[in-house]
């Protein structure tokens, strides 16, 4: 999976100066791709939306949803799928990078319009399959992978191609309890 992680900035810088773009994969591989194919390749891998400074990238395969989410904060960042009202009933993933550079991430559920709790504390499971993240220049980026259908009642069944409301938020604290600096939302086609 990691081989698909494209470092876009490096690629776009290369695209400005060459007819081929160098794509650096997270596993260390580098490939050279003709510039006219770059957009196609990028968007085949990840769709992207930016709302109020929060950038969400996503893609699916038969089993998983892969997400990169970043926000202008050194605190927590979260995305929630399929809420009913504000945060209620959303399948939330929330995380932060602590001062030691460690990613602390949790599978949550919107327990009301204004509250959320970990799936585990509600009797469900933490279904985040893998994750990593980083904090750089005041921005926190989280990457994670979750099953499209975990079977957990505190997750939502996600169907590629369907349209979902999503919520996006970030806060300034390295914890799961601090209020948001920004909370917003949009809808996306998975």
Binding site for ligand HEM (CB under 6 A): 78-80, 86-87, 92, 94, 114, 116, 167, 169, 177, 179-180, 183, 185
**Please, which residue, 35 or 122, has the CB nearer to ligand HEM?**
122
CB 164 within 8 A of CB 81: yes
Q: How far is the CB of 80 from ligand HEM (least distance, A)?
A: 4
Residue 99 neighbours by CB under 8 Å, 6+ apart: 174
Q: How far is the CB of 108 from ligand HEM (least distance, A)?
A: 7
Residue 144 neighbours by CB under 8 Å, 6+ apart: 66, 67, 93, 95, 105, 128, 129, 130, 131
**Please, which residue, 6 or 128, has the CB nearer to ligand HEM?**
128
**Please, which residue, 32 or 172, has the CB nearer to ligand HEM?**
172
Q: How far is the CB of 119 from ligand HEM (least distance, A)?
A: 13
**Please, which residue, 19 or 177, has the CB nearer to ligand HEM?**
177
- Residue 8 to residue 100: CA distance in whole angstroms: 26
């Amino acid at each position: 999976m990691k081989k698909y992680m494209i470092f876009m900035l490096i690629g776009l810088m290369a695209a400005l100066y060459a007819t081929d773009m160098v794509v650096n994969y997270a596993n260390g591989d580098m490939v050279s791709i003709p510039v006219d194919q770059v957009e196609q390749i990028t968007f085949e891998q990840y769709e992207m939306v930016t709302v109020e400074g929060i950038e969400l990238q996503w893609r699916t395969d038969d089993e998983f949803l892969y997400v990169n989410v970043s926000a202008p904060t050194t605190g927590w960042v979260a995305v929630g799928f399929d809420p009913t009202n504000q945060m209620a009933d959303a399948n939330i993933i929330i995380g932060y990078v602590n001062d030691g550079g460690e990613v602390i991430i949790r599978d949550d559920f919107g327990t009301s319009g204004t509250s959320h709790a970990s799936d585990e504390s509600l009797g469900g499971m933490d279904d985040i399959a893998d994750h990593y993240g980083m904090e750089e220049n005041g921005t926190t980026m989280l990457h994670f992978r979750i099953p499209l259908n975990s079977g957990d009642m505190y997750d939502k069944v996600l169907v590629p191609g369907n349209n979902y409301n999503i919520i996006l938020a970030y806060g300034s604290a390295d914890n799961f309890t601090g209020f948001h600096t920004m909370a917003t939302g949009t809808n996306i086609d998975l």
